[in-house]
Amino acid sequence: MKKLLLTISYVGTGFCGWQVQADGLRTVQATVQDAIEAVYGERHDLTGCSRTDAGVHAKAFRAAYVLPDDSPDIPLERLPLALNLKLPYDCAVIKAEDVPLPFHPRYDAVYKEYKYIFEDTVHRDPFMNKRCWHFHRPLDESAMDAASKAFLGTHDFSAFMSTGGKIEDTARTVTNISVSRENGFVTMTIRADGYLYNMVRIIAGTLAMASYGKINPSELPSIIASGDRNKAGMTAPPEGLYLTEVGYLEGFAKLKR
């Protein structure tokens, strides 16, 4: 018996999120599990590093499955290609790794990095349709970068959580956050040890509103401290969000939190 960890890239547009849904909707998890079944001739369930919502993209999602001893043993370096031959073109396995059996892609993540892409040109770029959040007026990426620093550190992020998340501990630690213009698009990059439900999208929406003067950046610390969702900005739409990296301990060791 062994555990395999896949790195998966997908365009979120055509998927109803990561997680398998009872009603047979097209999800990334179901799609990759179908490919696994096609390759091995048997079904193995995936455990993901997070649950991305419908429309959210991933450059490097991580998901693991347990392979029984009597399953076909496909060499690690050939496994992505074998799976990709069974996958649709909006989803690709870009890496496969052996990990220790106790390893968990979600609970053993040291950090997760997301990017949020804003487009602030009068004319939408057709090549970025459903891949960014469009504004007609220019955003001020320097002001957004300065404002973003309020989120650094360990905070109770209750004000930046959509209802629906039932979580006891609402403290999270943001280790890096910045906003800059990359390839013409204003891009927020954030790393944290974990996220509350919709936390990245609410932070993105709050920074956009701060750029337009609808939220005073100097009030961000008190908005965070209030724990009041109504004081934070709107939830940015899913199509601008990308899961870009998940960090693990060397050797995929268990994380002692």
Q: Which stretch binds a second copy (CB under 8 A): 17-25, 121-129, 147-155, 195-203?
A: 121-129
Nearer to a second copy, 108 or 239 (CB): 239
70 is catalytic: no
125 near a second copy, rule: CB under 8 A = yes
* Total residues binding a second copy (CB under 8 A): 23
Q: How far is the CB of 39 from a second copy (least distance, A)?
A: 15
Binding mask 72-91 for a second copy (x = CB under 8 A): --------xx--x----xxx
- What's the 3-state SS for the chain? CEEEEEEEEECHHHCCCCCCCCCCCCCHHHHHHHHHHHHHCCCCCCEECCCCCCCCEEEEEEEEEEECCCCCCCCCCCHHHHHHCCCCCCEEEEEEEEECCCCCCCCCEEEEEEEEEEECCCCCCHHHCCCCEECCCCCCHHHHHHHHHHHCEEEECHHHCCCCCCCCCCEEEEEEEEEEEECCEEEEEEEECCCCCCHHHHHHHHHHHHHCCCCCHHHHHHHHHHCCHHHCCCCCCHHHEEEEEEEECHHHCCCCC
137 near a second copy, rule: CB under 8 A = no
9 near a second copy, rule: CB under 8 A = yes
56 near a second copy, rule: CB under 8 A = no
171 near a second copy, rule: CB under 8 A = no
Query: Could you tell me the two tokens for 55?
Result: 């429309």
10 near a second copy, rule: CB under 8 A = yes
Q: How far is the CB of 209 from a second copy (least distance, A)?
A: 23
Interface positions, 206-225, toward a second copy (CB under 8 A) = none
Report the residue from 41, 101, 122, 163 that binds a second copy according to the rule CB under 8 A. Answer: 122
Cβ atoms of residues 87 and 35 within 8 Å: yes
93 near a second copy, rule: CB under 8 A = yes
Please pick, among 23, 34, 45, 53, the residue that the annotation labels catalytic. Answer: 53
Which residues sit at the interface with a second copy, rule CB under 8 A? 9-11, 57, 80-81, 84, 89-94, 122-127, 129-131, 136
User: What is the set of active-site residues?
Assistant: 53
